[in-house]
Structure 1
Amino acid sequence: MKPLSIGQVAKRTGIRTSALRYYEEAGILPAPARVAGRRSYDPDVIRRIDILRFAQQAGFTLEEIKTLFRGFGTDTPLSTRWQRLAHTKLRELDEQAERIQRMRSALELSLKCGCVRIEECSLSPSSVSHANDGCRGSRCS
C-alpha cells in the first residue's frame, strides 16, 4: 500500500495532526519515515490508531497505552498484553466503583440532615458506614 501523509492519516482517523505529532513524541506511535522532510506513514498506522482509540475508550491512560504498544517483549502477543493491562484496569475500576458508592452514600446521608447549626450535626466519616445511624442532631429528619 502507498504511504500516507499526516493529513491523510488525520482525515482517515478523525484525529488532529497535532495529536498525531503528540502521540509520536510520547512514543505511542512510531516515528514515520520522512520524505522531503514530510512525514510518510505506513498504512498500518491506521490500525494502531484504532487500537489506541479503543484503549482510550476502555479508560487506559496514554502511559498505559504506551506500555501496551512498547512495554512488553516483541514476542509477547497482543492478546497477552491486553489481558495483563485489562485485569489491572478492572481492579482499578472496582476500587473506583467502591469509592463512588461511598461518596453516594455520604451524599445521600447528608441530604437527610436538617441541622441548623454545625455544632448540632453529627455527620462524620463513620456516619457513612453506619448510614442508618446518620445525623442525630435536633433538626435531623
Structure 2
Amino acid sequence: MKFLDIGEVSTKTGIRPSALRYYEEVGLISSVSRNGLRRQFPFEVLLQLKLITMGKTAGFSLEEIAGMFGRDGTPELPRDVLHAKADELDRKIRELAALRDTLRHVADCPAPSHMECPTFRRLVDVAGRWAGTRAGHPRAKRGGRS
C-alpha cells in the first residue's frame, strides 16, 4: 500500500507541513509510518483535511473539529451541532448583508452631508442598537476579556 508523505499532502491540500505536524500533534490526523524523517499518511487524510478546513471556515475550533472524528479518523458529524452552526452563519450573513447595504448607501448618498441624510441617521441608530446588544458577547465566550 502506498502512502502520501507530508510533502505530497502539503502540495495536494495547500496546508503547510508545520500545520500538518500540528494537526497530528493535537490528534486531528495521524501518520501511519515514516520514510526517513518524513511522515507518511494514508490517502484518507485528504478527506480529513478537507473536513478540517471546512470546519475552520465555518467557525469551529480545532477542539470542536477533533470531536467530529471517531477514534479511527472517520467523520462522526453531530447533526444538531451542524444545524446550530448553520443557524449562526445565517444570522451572520444577515448582519453582514445589512452592513454591506449601509456602506453602499453611505458611499452613494446624494445628501450634501451624511448627517443631513435621514436614511444614514436611521442606519446609524440601528447599527448602534445592534452593537449594544452584541457588545462583549463574542469576548464573553473567550473568557470575558474586554
Length-normalised TM-score, structure 2: 0.55
SS of residue matched to 2:68: helix
Unaligned runs of 5+ in 1: 129-141
What is the percent sequence identity of the aligned residues?
Answer: 29
Of Structure 1 and Structure 2, the greater helix share is in 2
Worse overlay, 26-35 or 92-101: 26-35
Q: CA deviation at 1:96?
A: 0.8
Task: Tell me if structure 1 keeps the 8 A contact 2:7–2:17.
Answer: yes
Query: How big is each residue's C-alpha offset from its partner over 1:68-87, in whole Å with a ceiling of 9 and x where there is no partner?
Result: 226xxx6xx846x2523321
Q: CA deviation at 1:54?
A: 4.2
Bigger Cα Rg: 1
Q: Does 1:97 align with 2:96?
A: no
Task: Tell me if structure 1 keeps the 8 A contact 2:30–2:41.
Answer: no
Length-normalised TM-score, structure 1: 0.57
Task: Tell me if structure 1 keeps the 8 A contact 2:31–2:40.
Answer: no
CA 1:16–1:108 in structure 2 vs 1: closer, same or farther (change >3 Å)?
closer
Unaligned runs of 5+ in 2: 128-146
| Pairwise CA RMSD | 3.6
Name which of 81, 85, 88 aligns with 2:84: 88
Q: Which protein, 1 or 2, shows the higher relative CO under an 8 Å CA cutoff with sep ≥ 6?
A: 1
Correspondence for 1:42: 42
Corresponding pairs, count: 120
